[in-house]
Structure 1
Amino acid sequence: MSSMASLSRITFRHMYRLQKEFNTHLSIFQGITVWFTGLSGAGKSTICQLVKDKLSAVRFSVEILDGDEVRKHLCAELGFSQEDRFKNIERAAFIAKLLSRNHIIVLASFITPYKAMRDYLKHELDPFVEVYVKCSLKECIHRDVKGLYRRALDGEVVQFTGISDPYEEPEHPDLMIDTEFETSEKSALKVLAYLRQQGFIHFDEEMK
């Protein structure tokens, strides 16, 4: 047998072993959707990015579904009536389902103002974790990172959650983080701790 043939056989056995280990890892790791709900400006997107960075650092497959990006690219024709908001959430849920069933952790950042929306998500997505990113309306208006509250208060933006549309506060979220009184870093670590305690993620390294 030539040295080239021997090398090819060794390489094939090595690749087969790696693929087998990879498939075994996938079989024990189930994707999950972690859904962040809260007022505009509460800090949902910031915390999602922090959680993603920390999970990616220990080699988890993670994707962020951001409400603004989904509206821009997939739901541009939708308005902000209750019916259109539901359609927006339904489309986002469909994407989350596709990703999570392929062993991906989905971090979804949507205002999701109505209880009925969140009940729909709990029915459609499994496993599903609801994270309430709590922050008072007063503080969100003070932050006004996108300038939307000012426009809504001036009547330039209609059907704006917290001003002219309601936000139905979650009564029993899986996890609540209060971004008015804790840093984004601390909030992100709380999310990771919850996922670990519930057995959704496993890792040896300490999250920092």
Structure 2
Amino acid sequence: MYKETNKRSIVKGISWRIVATTTTIIIVYLFFGRLDLAIAAGMIETVLKVGLYWAHERAWFKIQWGRKKIEPFNLWFTGLPLSGKTTIADKVYTELEKLHIPIERIDSKDIRDLIPGIGFTREDRNRHMYRIGNLVRTLQKNSISTVASFVSPYKESRKTIRKMVKNNIVVYVKADVETCQKRDYKGKYVKALAGELKNFPGVNDVYEEPQHAEIVIDTDQLSADEAVVIIVKYVKKHYVK
């Protein structure tokens, strides 16, 4: 992928102006047979068109007709640990980036690495979700959408997020505990079952399933790529038309 640099754009603009002015000079010379008149016409045309183009652009800058603002949205991926949230959210984020909209990726692991010692009790998690809600809200104030993936096992914290942010899209990545255990390459479920990890949703703590999720992805029925198609299609239909 190549990105157009400012220097390249400037050089292209200058080269086009040279071509256009030269064309004007040649046309005038062919009609009148006077080189001095042709050069003068070319110079006047150049100055006038640069000024007119500037005025034209400034005028259209003030006109709102035909402009459509993309309202920032928040894709909130929730589900049991190892349900597939992060994998699907990463793929969705990659696809949405292709739409060239301002968007950021937020994952629970990254945030906990930045803010260690948050804790995993119900109170700790709810307080943490409030912080994340403020982060998402701040990004939205700058017209930045978000793709966030958090276990967020409690209904009250998900309700808080919905109240705090605009256009919140809950994506429930559904998978039963047995399926998540099979995907447990980190050994977290083993540790939780052995009592080494406390407050672990699905083992020694509850996971309260969302009752009003906009999108439900059953990972026993859908692959990650199939899930991405469904989610991106939803976003395009409702927010990026």
Shorter chain as normaliser: what TM range? 0.7 to 0.9
Moved more, 188-197 or 35-44: 188-197
Check whether the contact 1:61–1:105 (CA below 8 A) recurs between aligned residues.
Answer: yes
Q: Which of 143, 150, 169 is matched with 2:183 structurally?
A: 143
For residues 121 and 65 of structure 2, the distance between their equivalents in structure 1, rounded to whole angstroms, comes to: 45
Number of residue pairs aligned between Structure 1 and Structure 2: 197
Check whether the contact 1:26–1:103 (CA below 8 A) recurs between aligned residues.
Answer: no
- Structure 2 letter corresponding to 1:152: A
User: Greater relative contact order (Cα 8 A, min sep 6): structure 1 or 2?
Assistant: 1
- Structure 2 letter corresponding to 1:30: E
Structure 2 residue runs of 5 or longer lacking an equivalent are: 1-39
2:84 aligned with 1:43, yes or no? yes
For residues 25 and 64 of structure 1, the distance between their equivalents in structure 2, rounded to whole angstroms, comes to: 30
State the Cα distance separating 1:160 from its structure 2 match.
Answer: 0.8
For residues 198 and 110 of structure 2, the distance between their equivalents in structure 1, rounded to whole angstroms, comes to: 20
Q: Secondary structure at the match of 1:193?
A: helix
Q: Which of 36, 53, 63 is matched with 2:104 structurally?
A: 63
Q: Which of 57, 73, 79 is matched with 1:32 structurally?
A: 73
2:157 aligned with 1:117, yes or no? yes
C-alpha root-mean-square deviation of aligned residues, in Å?
2.8
For residues 44 and 20 of structure 1, the distance between their equivalents in structure 2, rounded to whole angstroms, comes to: 41
> Between the two proteins, what is the percent identity of the paired residues?
30
Corresponding position of 1:200: 239
Check whether the contact 1:30–1:101 (CA below 8 A) recurs between aligned residues.
Answer: no
- Structure 2 letter corresponding to 1:200: Y
State the 4+ residue runs in structure 1 displaced beyond 3 angstroms.
Answer: 23-27
Corresponding position of 1:182: 222
State the Cα distance separating 1:97 from its structure 2 match.
Answer: 0.8
State the Cα distance separating 1:196 from its structure 2 match.
Answer: 2.3
Check whether the contact 1:47–1:188 (CA below 8 A) recurs between aligned residues.
Answer: yes
Q: 1:180 and 1:173, CA in 2 relative to 1: closer, same or farther beyond 3 A? A: same
Q: Which of 168, 177, 201 is matched with 2:208 structurally?
A: 168
State the Cα distance separating 1:20 from its structure 2 match.
Answer: 4.1
Q: Which of 54, 71, 91 is matched with 1:13 structurally?
A: 54
Of structures 1 and 2, the larger Rg is shown by 2
Give 1 or 2: higher helix fraction.
2
Give the TM-score of the pair, scaled to structure 2. 0.73
- Structure 2 letter corresponding to 1:193: K
2:159 aligned with 1:128, yes or no? no
For residues 88 and 82 of structure 2, the distance between their equivalents in structure 1, rounded to whole angstroms, comes to: 11
Deviations 1:118-147 (A, max 9, x none): 111111111111110101111001110322
Structure 1 residue runs of 5 or longer lacking an equivalent are: 203-208
Check whether the contact 1:31–1:105 (CA below 8 A) recurs between aligned residues.
Answer: yes
Q: Secondary structure at the match of 1:28?
A: coil
Give the TM-score of the pair, scaled to structure 1. 0.84
For residues 62 and 84 of structure 1, the distance between their equivalents in structure 2, rounded to whole angstroms, comes to: 27
